[in-house]
Amino acid sequence: MADIEWPGGLKRTKQRERVLEVLMGANQPLSAQEIARKIEGEGGGAWLSTVYRALESFAEHKLAVRVQVAGSDVALYELSRAGHRHYAVCVDCHRIIPMSGCPVGPLKPELAEDGFTVTGHNLEVYGHCRDCLKKSGK
């Protein structure tokens, strides 16, 4: 965890460190259930409620971000990074594939006439992943 600075005001516990280690090793957003399973698979114990609390604390302290995929009621989490990420979601297998850049590009801070200030945006692209296309013969 040398490349991640622990945020001030967030108590450092063994459980939170384990959750952070899983997030650091992930290449896509993970649910609390997936994180708990990974910790269990590595020989550790993880209460799902403890994982949820750790993730919410991480989000509150800007160490992680909550990713909500449309059509799903499961929150996913990933480490906060410089900038932001977008995902392509396979409509067949529901795999989440990180996109290499932001297709929206930079937004003007003020887009609305009433002075609304843009602080961020979400974009999801839906389609069929390579594996599902091969299976379907398309």
In angstroms, how far is CA 69 from the centroid of its own chain? Answer: 10
Provide the strand spans (E) within the chain. 64-68, 75-79, 87-90, 96-98, 124-127
Q: What is the pLDDT of residue 69?
A: 75
Domains of the chain, earliest start first: 1-81 (1.10.10.10), 83-138 (3.30.1490.190)
Q: Which residues contact 5 (CB under 8 A, 6 or more apart)?
A: none
Nearest-angstrom CA–CA distance, 65 and 23: 11
Is 40 in contact with 88 (CB distance < 8 Å)?
no
Overall pTM > 0.85: no
Q: What is the pLDDT of residue 3?
A: 66
pLDDT in tens, the chain (138 residues): 556 788 888 999 999 999 999 999 988 889 999 999 999 887 777 789 999 999 999 999 989 988 877 677 888 898 887 567 788 888 888 888 888 877 776 666 666 667 777 777 777 788 898 999 998 876
Nearest-angstrom CA–CA distance, 23 and 64: 9
By three-state DSSP, how is residue 132 classified? helix
Q: What is the pLDDT of residue 2?
A: 52
Is 46 in contact with 15 (CB distance < 8 Å)?
yes
Q: What is the pLDDT of residue 89?
A: 84
Q: What is the pLDDT of residue 42?
A: 79
The single residue listed with the structure tokens 């929206």 is 104
Nearest-angstrom CA–CA distance, 72 and 76: 10
